[in-house]
Amino acid sequence: MSLQILVISDNDPFAAYLCGLLQSAGHTPLPVCPAKEAFPAVRRRKPDLIVLALEASSVPSLAVEHRVQTPQGPRSVPVIVISDCLRLEAELLQVFDFIPTPLDEKRLFDDLALVALRKSGPQHEEELSSRLACAFSKHILKHTGLHFEARNHAALARGLRKRMAALRMWSFEEYLQYLKLHGEDRHELQRLLQFLTVGETYFFRYPAHFDVLRERLALLKDDPAPVCIWSAGCSTGEEPYSIAMTVMEALPDWSERDIRIIATDINNRSLKRAREGVYSPWSMRITRPDQVQRYFTRVGESFLIRDEVKQLVRFAHLNLSAPCHEPLCEELHGLDAIFCRNVLIYFTTQSAEQMLERFADALAPGGLLFLGHSETLLQHEGLPLSLRRQERSFYYVKGGQPQKESRAPGTPQPEWELTPEQMRLAAQAPTVLAPTVLAPTVLAPTVPAAAVEAPPPAEDSPLPLPAPVTQGATEMFRQARELFDREEFDAALALLEELPQEAPENAEALVLTGFILAGKGELPRAMESCERALKLNDLLAEAYFLKGVLLDAEDRLAEAAAEYRKALLLDHDFIMPRYHMGRLHLRQGRVSDAARELRNSIRILSRWSDDQTIPFSGGLTRAVCMLQLQNELARVA
C-alpha cells in the first residue's frame, strides 16, 4: 500500500536522500523545508506518516502524535524520528520508531511496511485477556523483576495500550510477539517500562530527606572515614546528583575525602541520560538559584551538571529483585545511607521484603534509609530499622530507637460525630463550603472556598461563610499553595503570614499554615492554627484532616480517628484521611477495617486520571497512589 509521507528536515541533501528512498519503495514523499513549515503542512496535506530528520534541538517540539482532520473525523498520524541524538530516544515514547543515524535503511523499510498494514484501526478496543495478561507479566518479570499480578491488570493494560498506540498495533497478541522479538534490538522493553512505572524525578525532591543527610554528614567533618551512599533506582540521575551536591555542601573538604555515591537502575536508557547529565528547566524547579549557579552550566534551555559533581557519582545497571553477583555488589555494604524512593511499589510483596532485608544488611550501624512518601515498613516487622520523622517526611535509622510522643494522661477523647447543626449545614451546602483545594485535579488553579460565589442561603438558616477575601489575597494564597505543592515550605509560609495584612483571616490559609508548621515539628502552633481555622469554618474537611494528622503524630489514635471520620463525613471522596484511617486501623490490629478503607480509596481513585495529583499527599500522582494502595491491600486482605 502506497503511503503519503511528510518528510520534515532542515538538511536539504539528507531530505533529498530520504525522498529518493521512499519513492523507490513506491511511496509518495512530501518534503517540507524549513521545519517551521511542518505544522501547517500536517494540517494541509493530511499525510499517512511523518518522518522527522532534524537537529536535536528541533525534534522534541515536533515529535508528537499529530492529529489531522479528515471527512471521517480526526486521525492520528504516526511519527518516525531519525536523529543522532540518542538521549532523545528515552524521551520520545509516543513516536512509532526512533532510528539513530547512520540510517538503517532496512529498518526504515520494515517500519513503512508496518505502517501500511496498520493504516486503519479497529472498530472496537480489544480487551486484555487473563491469558495474555499472564503472558506479559511473566515476560516482564523474567527480564526486569517487575511484577504485575491480577490486581494490577488494569494498570498493565493501560501501559500496554499507550505503547501499542504509538506503534499503531491493535492486537495484544501481536504486540507480545513484537515485544519478544524487539525487546533488545529496538529497546522496546525499555520503552514499555516507561509506561508501566509511574512517577517523576527532579533535583532535591523531598527536601527534608536531604536536610537529614546534610545533618548526618556534618557530624563526620572530623572523621576521615570514607562516605558511601547508594541511590537504588536512580532513574535519570537527579537523585544521586542531588546527593552529591549535599555532600559537597556538608563536607568542605569533600575533594580530599573518599566519597562514593553508587547509583543503579534497571533502565539502561535512563542510565545513559544520567551519565550525560543534561537536564531541562522542569528538573530544576525547586533547585535554589545558588545551587544552579554552583553545580550547573547553562547552555540554551538546558542545564549541564558540572564535572566536579559528576565525578562523585558512579552509575551502573542493576536489577534490585535479582540475586546480585556483580563485582559492584561487594561495595554495597557498610553504607552511610540508601535512597530507594518510589521503587518498592513496583515489586511483589516478597520481592520488596527481600530488598528491604538486603538494604538493612547493607547499612552500617546508624545508617539511613530513605523511602518514598508512598512507601512504608509497617508490614515489615523484624527489620533493625527505626522510624524517624522530619518535616512531613520520614526516614529510617539502622539500630536507632523509634520516636514516640506520649499522650498526656487524662486527655479526653472527643466524640467523632459532627453536631446536628454541622450535619444540617453540610447537607444544605456541600458545594459552597467544600474547598476547591481538594478537587481531584492539578490543572485548575487553587482558589480559596471564600472566593466561590455561593447561592443565597435560606432565611432561617444562614450559612457561616468565611470572611470575604480580596483579589490580592486570593492571588497570594494561590502562590502560597503552588509553593507548598513544590515543597518550598519556608517561602509558602512567608506568603501565608502576610495574608492577614491584606484581608481577614481565611480558614484555608490557616490550614495550609498548620500543615507547614507540623512539618517543621511545631505541633502546638500547628494545632493552634487548625483550631482557628475551625472557628472560622467548622465544615472544612481539610481542617479536620489536619487535626487528625496532628493527633496521630502524638499517638492519640482514637482522637485522630474521630477527626478523620469528620473529614470523611464532609467530603466522602477525600483520599488522604481515608488512607490515614486505613493505616491507623493497621496500627490497632483491625485488619478488616483497614482493608475496607483501602478498597474504598481504590474505588474512589478509579475515577481519576493517572496524572492527577492527590491533595496533601506530598505530590503523589493518582497512578502511584493507586499502586501503593493495591499493594497494601494485597498484604492485608
Output the domain CATH number for residue 293: 3.40.50.150
Domain end marker among 117, 141, 175:
117
Confidence of residue 124 (pLDDT cuts 50, 70, 90): low
Q: Which residues make Cβ contacts (< 8 Å) with residue 404, sequence separation at least 6?
A: 555
Same domain, 259 and 355: yes
Average pLDDT over residues 489-512: 78
End residue of a domain, out of 513, 536, 561: 561
For residues 357 and 218, state if they share a domain. Answer: yes
pLDDT digit string, tens, across residues 551-572: 988 778 888 989 998 898 888 8
Residue 379, domain member (yes or no) = yes
Q: In 376-452, where do the E strands start and end?
A: 385-390, 393-398
User: What is the CATH classification number for the domain harbouring 519?
Assistant: 1.25.40.10
Predicted local confidence at residue 377, as pLDDT: 60
Residue 115 CB neighbour total at 10 angstroms: 22
Section 170-195 average pLDDT: 88
Q: Which span out of 139-143, 344-348, 586-590 was modeled with the highest average pLDDT?
A: 139-143
Does 282 share its domain with 319? yes
Q: Place 132 in a pLDDT band, splitting at 50, 70 and 90.
A: very high
pLDDT of residue 233: 92
**Could you tell me the pLDDT band of residue 449, with boundaries at 50, 70 and 90?**
very low
Same-domain check for residues 158 and 234: no
pLDDT tens-place string over residues 45-68: 788 899 988 665 555 445 444 444
The structure's pTM equals: 0.53
- Enclosing domain of residue 587: 573-637
The more confident residue out of 403 and 227 is: 227
pLDDT of 99 strictly over 60? yes
Residue 386 has pLDDT above 80, yes or no: yes
* Structure-model confidence comparison of residues 306 and 201, the more confident one: 306
Q: How confident is the model at residue 160 (pLDDT cuts 50, 70, 90)?
A: very high
What are the distances in angstroms from CA 2 to CA 26, 56, 78, 96, 117? 6, 29, 15, 18, 10
Q: Is the pLDDT higher at 193 or at 359?
A: 359
pLDDT of residue 365: 94
pLDDT of residue 222: 87
Residues 314 and 437 in one domain: no
> Is residue 111 domain-shared with residue 163, that is, in the same domain?
no
92-114 mean pLDDT: 89
200 pLDDT higher than 70? no
Whether residue 86 sits in one domain with residue 35: yes
Residues 165 and 239 in one domain: no
Residues 239 and 381 in one domain: yes
Which residue type does 392 have?
Answer: R
Q: For residue 506, is it within any domain?
A: yes
Chain-centre distance for alpha carbon 68:
32
Torsion angle (degrees, nearest 10) of CA 56, 59, 61, 62: 170
Domain count, the chain: 5
pLDDT of 422 reads 47
